[in-house]
Structure 1
Amino acid sequence: MRMQQQQQQQTSQPLRVLITGASSGIGRGLAQWYAHRGHTVGALARRQDLLEELAAAHSNVVPLIADVCDAEQTEQAVSRFALEAGGLDVAYANAGVGQRTREEGWDADRAELIAQVNVVGATNTICAATSIMLEQGRGHLVGISSLAGHCPLPDAAAYGASKAWLVFYLRSLAMDLGPCGIRCTVVMPGYVSTQMVDGTGVELLTPQARRAADRIAQGVARGQETIRFPRRVSLLTRLAGLTPASLRASMQRRRLHKRATSRSQGR
């Protein structure tokens, strides 16, 4: 209760917010959401041009060029932002990759890339932020997972496993760090269309990504431990997680048979 009151008090005053993967998609939407409300944003990503574009539009956005897969780069970027901003209130481990293909589960290169960004990258971000928050005696860690982390799904072996890992990691950290004044929130969105390209080739933030960012930021401001959306898909994935593995396998075989049949008929 005390931590929830502290969180509500923080939202009424400027926050220092770090967001990885801030150059596009949900991360960019979150950076804009906080910047529009007068908070100081550390926007971390690899694409310098997109970060500079974001910073040019918002004077309270600090561009941080770093690769989350590199622990030293990440630690230096997070520390620099906290030093310049005078502290760190909220840290989003948002950077992530994923391709829904059957081959991702047994293609070593694809699986390794997903694990590097979604697992190692998230760990580097959270560890760097945690060391600062422990010194402060307060803070809020947020991990952008996925509804794919609820239960095994076809065509998402490596991706789903990486997102399930983040759920367990943050929920365990919540028990360890709670007594130290640090909150943890797991965000589990469904599929979000994050980019569209206009005729000039410029990446634009989709309305769906804007709505997702708004839903996430408001849930974090309320101190929610878990944020899931959309509601219907969230319910379906949780129910699927309770379904016996043999039944899920049978349903998958029927799905693959239907796909193969439709392809053969289309020839």
Structure 2
Amino acid sequence: MKIVIIGATTGIGRSLAEFYAAKDHEIAITGRRTGLLEEIKTANTTSKIHIHEMDVSKTEASRAIMDELATLMDGIDLVIINAGVGFGKASYQQEIETVDVNARGFLALANWSYSYFVKKGGGQIVGVSSLASLTGSAYSPEYHATKAFMANYMAGLRMRSSKFKHQIVVTDIRPGFVDTPMTKQNKGMFWVATPEKAAKQIYEAIESKKKVAYITKRYILIAILLKILPEWIIEKFF
């Protein structure tokens, strides 16, 4: 299988890249820090790994890079969009950056992937949103809002694929707390998964072609609560 993993420098994306490389898939990995991507390529000598610098906030450049990768790999079967940012008590400029990466950047790449797979006759798009997509937050409203955008955009793509019989699988991955550089700033985390454990469960969800998967699986219990609890209770924790 030929796979593109967007946002593979650290955390979940890096663990997914290492997981798929170990299974001898041909993969392309992207991120802003190519030195970290080179580490993944150097550590794995059996799989074919392509690396490319990508800043997803530069939407037109990102879409052009996807064109390049599709040609280089002679086709793509699976696109995993993992790139994202989050800040604690963000400034206005950081809120705008969050929208540029998590919403605009995601849309540009998901749209490219869907159009590509329509022409190809099928494929799979995976977006890493978050448990945060289910609620607002007093501390990071911009982050939760962009993750909700991702989740709803993917739901729309699934509906489109079903309605027009495009044979495109769209999988929404919703992690809870995973031990990554971005979550180091969070206090009071619970049920924290390693990136390796998260990657294994994400792989299983992708293989099963799930519509939505909570990572780790126990977070589905929190998801149920978030859907039924009143806002005044949720605001104490989010």
TM-score by length of 2: 0.87
Partner of 1:108: 92
Give a deviation string over 1:236-265, Cα, whole Å, max 9, x none. 23312312234445xx3xx79xxxxxxxxx
Q: Which runs of 5+ in 1 are unaligned?
A: 1-14, 197-205, 257-267
Partner of 1:74: 62
SS at 2:93's partner residue?
helix
Partner of 2:140: 156
Describe the shift of the 1:155–1:207 C-alpha distance in structure 2 as closer, same or farther (beyond 3 A).
closer
The residue correspondences of 1:112-151 to structure 2 (distance < 5 A) are: 112-151=96-135
8 A contact 1:185–1:224 mirrored in 2: yes
Letter in 2 for 1:172: G
Question: Residue 223 of structure 1 is aligned with which of 209, 217, 220?
Answer: 209
Question: Residue 52 of structure 1 is aligned with which of 38, 41, 45?
Answer: 38
Give a deviation string over 1:190-249, Cα, whole Å, max 9, x none. 0111249xxxxxxxxx98001101110111011111110234433123312312234445
Residues in 1 aligned to 2:68 and 2:104: alpha-carbon distance in whole angstroms:
21
Per-residue deviation, 1:36 = 0.7
Partner of 1:173: 157
CA RMSD of aligned residues (A): 2.1
Residues in 2 aligned to 1:150 and 1:85: alpha-carbon distance in whole angstroms:
36
Structure whose alpha-carbon radius of gyration is higher: 1
Number of residue pairs the alignment of both structures matches: 225
Partner of 1:194: 180
Give a deviation string over 1:40-82, Cα, whole Å, max 9, x none. 1110111111112222223411001111111222112211111
Residues in 2 aligned to 1:167 and 1:36: alpha-carbon distance in whole angstroms:
29
Residues in 2 aligned to 1:190 and 1:248: alpha-carbon distance in whole angstroms:
15
Partner of 1:33: 19
Q: Which runs of 5+ in 2 are unaligned?
A: 183-191
TM-score by length of 1: 0.78
The range that moved more, 163-172 or 118-127, is 118-127
Alignment pair present for 1:83 and 2:71 = yes
Partner of 1:64: 52
Residues in 2 aligned to 1:136 and 1:246: alpha-carbon distance in whole angstroms:
47
What percentage of aligned pairs have identical amino acids?
Answer: 28
